[in-house]
């Protein structure tokens, strides 16, 4: 009997020691990024996910600034947020590809506590058919534009950070920034690029109490997505359907939770959670519990990923056989 107890306890000892080790070693340490009364600057805040997030932040009591190109849509967004929350937001019309314009807007807006680089463009098409111009457009807006924002905002964000409490830089990636998807060569490349940027940046700004979040939504009902659907290759839609679709408000809620908890990889739905574990790689992880899940399920998640690929390549084969 004593032996049964002994082996039972030694069996428990392994996961508990692992939990303890992870509790001690996960870095960066956990943090809470406040939103209320803080300056939240959201690019692409005039539509879709960015607008939903802006409304939510304003509702939470943040001072919100929006940046996008179209001044008319910005004005509409401003009105709709005022109507929904009673709060005034400031808007700036600029193209994220134009560094000087971005810098001017950021300087005029004043020091930022939470920078959300949400702007993004997606034009799905097979690489061979896609014009080089469109490929460069996606890289320039999604990736280079994000560099422009961070370069422009960082000096102001770092200033007096100690007194102001934790700051955040959040980047809107996509599940297509975790796994390459048919029809998304340029888009996936631009979003995968954000991951390298985010991992390196977090190491650079941790000493300034700035916390990086990378958000990975699945297909989300937005004006941009409605446009995308008009020309999306069938295979892109088939493969993307492996993950459920979401509403912009739901993605905004997940995003804000992720930003406030300083989570590095922010999944938005159940498939996203699986993807986050499967693609954890060498990304930072603040939660020892989540780290525990990552360590315990790494092998089985790889297997699940291979099954997904099996299924996707099956769809591709079937598609070509029909042609």
Which residues sit at the interface with ligand NDP, rule CB under 6 A? 43-44, 46-50, 68-70, 73, 95-97, 118-122, 141, 145, 172, 174, 217, 219-220, 222-225
| CB closer to ligand NDP out of 224 and 284 | 224
181 binds, among ligand NDP, ligand VSD, none (CB under 5 to 8 A by kind): ligand VSD
Catalytic residue among 47, 168, 173, 188: 173
Catalytic residue among 191, 195, 243, 255: 191
Q: How many CB atoms neighbour CB 57 within 10 A?
A: 29
Site string for ligand VSD, 155-174 (x = CB under 6 A): -------------------x
Q: Residue 191 catalytic?
A: yes
CA separation for the pair 40, 219 (Å, rounded)? 25
Please state whether 287 falls in left (phi above 0), alpha (psi between -120 and 50) or beta.
beta
50 binds, among ligand VSD, ligand NDP, none (CB under 5 to 8 A by kind): ligand NDP
- Asked if 168 and 113 touch (Cβ cutoff 8 Å), the reply is yes
| CB closer to ligand VSD out of 153 and 246 | 246
Interface region with ligand VSD, contact rule CB under 6 A, candidates 86-94, 147-155, 192-200, 302-310: 302-310
Per CB under 6 A, does 112 bind ligand VSD?
no
Among 65, 118, 243, 260, the residue binding ligand VSD under the rule CB under 6 A is 243
Measured at CB, which residue is nearest to ligand VSD?
Answer: 174
Per CB under 6 A, does 134 bind ligand VSD?
no
Among 181, 198, 212, 259, the residue binding ligand VSD under the rule CB under 6 A is 181
Per CB under 6 A, does 122 bind ligand VSD?
yes
Give the phi and the psi of residue 116 in degrees, each rounded to 5: -115, 110
CA separation for the pair 22, 296 (Å, rounded)? 12
The three-point CA angle 240-119-258 to 5° equals 75
Q: How far is the CB of 291 from ligand NDP (least distance, A)?
A: 25
Catalytic residue among 122, 182, 184, 187: 187
Exposure string over 242-264, b if 16+ CB within 10 A, otherwise e: bbeebebbbbbbbbbebbbbbbb
Give the phi and the psi of residue 180 in degrees, each rounded to 5: -70, 135
Q: Residue 184 catalytic?
A: no
Per CB under 6 A, does 179 bind ligand VSD?
yes
Residues in 190-229 at the binding interface with ligand VSD, rule: CB under 6 A: 218-219, 225, 228
The three-point CA angle 222-67-79 to 5° equals 70
- Residues near 231 by Cβ (< 8 Å), separated by ≥ 6? 123, 124, 125
| CB closer to ligand VSD out of 38 and 73 | 73
**Structure tokens of 155?**
């000096």
Calculate the CA dihedral of residues 199, 305, 219, 141 and round it to 10 degrees: 40
Among 240, 246, 266, 268, the residue binding ligand VSD under the rule CB under 6 A is 240
The distance of Cα 64 from the centroid of its chain, to the nearest Å, equals 19
**Structure tokens of 252?**
């905004």
Calculate the CA dihedral of residues 68, 74, 80, 85 and round it to 10 degrees: 60
| CB closer to ligand VSD out of 55 and 232 | 232
Q: Residue 247 catalytic?
A: no
- Asked if 295 and 245 touch (Cβ cutoff 8 Å), the reply is no
Residues forming the active site: 173, 187, 191
Task: Write out the residues near ligand VSD by the rule CB under 6 A.
Answer: 122, 174-176, 179, 181, 218-219, 225, 228, 240, 242-243, 271, 274-275, 278, 301, 304-305, 308
């Amino acid at each position: 009997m004593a032996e049964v107890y002994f082996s039972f306890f030694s069996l428990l000892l392994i996961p508990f020691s692992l939990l303890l080790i992870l509790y001690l070693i996960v870095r960066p340490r956990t943090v809470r990024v406040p939103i209320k009364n803080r300056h939240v600057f959201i690019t692409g805040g005039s539509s879709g996910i960015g607008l939903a997030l802006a409304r939510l932040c304003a509702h939470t009591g943040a001072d919100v600034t929006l940046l996008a190109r179209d001044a008319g849509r910005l004005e509409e967004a401003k009105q709709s947020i005022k109507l929904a929350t009673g709060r005034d937001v400031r808007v700036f019309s600029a193209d994220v590809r134009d560094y000087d314009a971005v810098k001017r807007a950021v300087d005029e807006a004043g020091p930022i506590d939470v920078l959300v680089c949400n702007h993004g463009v997606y034009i799905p098409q097979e690489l061979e058919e896609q014009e080089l111009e469109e490929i460069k457009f996606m890289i320039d807006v999604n990736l280079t534009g994000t560099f422009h924002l961070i370069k422009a905002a960082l000096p102001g964000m770092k200033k007096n950070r100690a007194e102001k409490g934790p700051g955040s830089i959040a980047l809107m990636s996509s599940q297509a920034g975790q796994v390459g998807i048919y029809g998304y060569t340029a888009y996936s490349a631009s979003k995968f690029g954000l991951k390298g940027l985010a991992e390196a940046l977090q190491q650079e700004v941790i000493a300034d109490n700035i916390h990086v979040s990378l958000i990975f939504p699945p297909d989300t009902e937005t004006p941009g997505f409605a446009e995308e659907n008009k020309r999306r290759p069938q295979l892109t839609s088939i493969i993307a359907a492996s993950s459920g679709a979401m509403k912009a408000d739901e993605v905004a809620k997940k995003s804000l939770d992720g930003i406030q908890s300083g989570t590095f990889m922010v999944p938005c739905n159940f498939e996203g959670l699986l993807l986050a574990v499967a693609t954890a790689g060498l990304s930072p992880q603040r939660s020892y519990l989540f780290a525990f899940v990552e360590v315990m399920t790494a092998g089985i998640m790889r297997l699940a990923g291979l099954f997904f690929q099996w299924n996707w390549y099956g769809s591709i084969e079937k598609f070509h056989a029909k042609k």
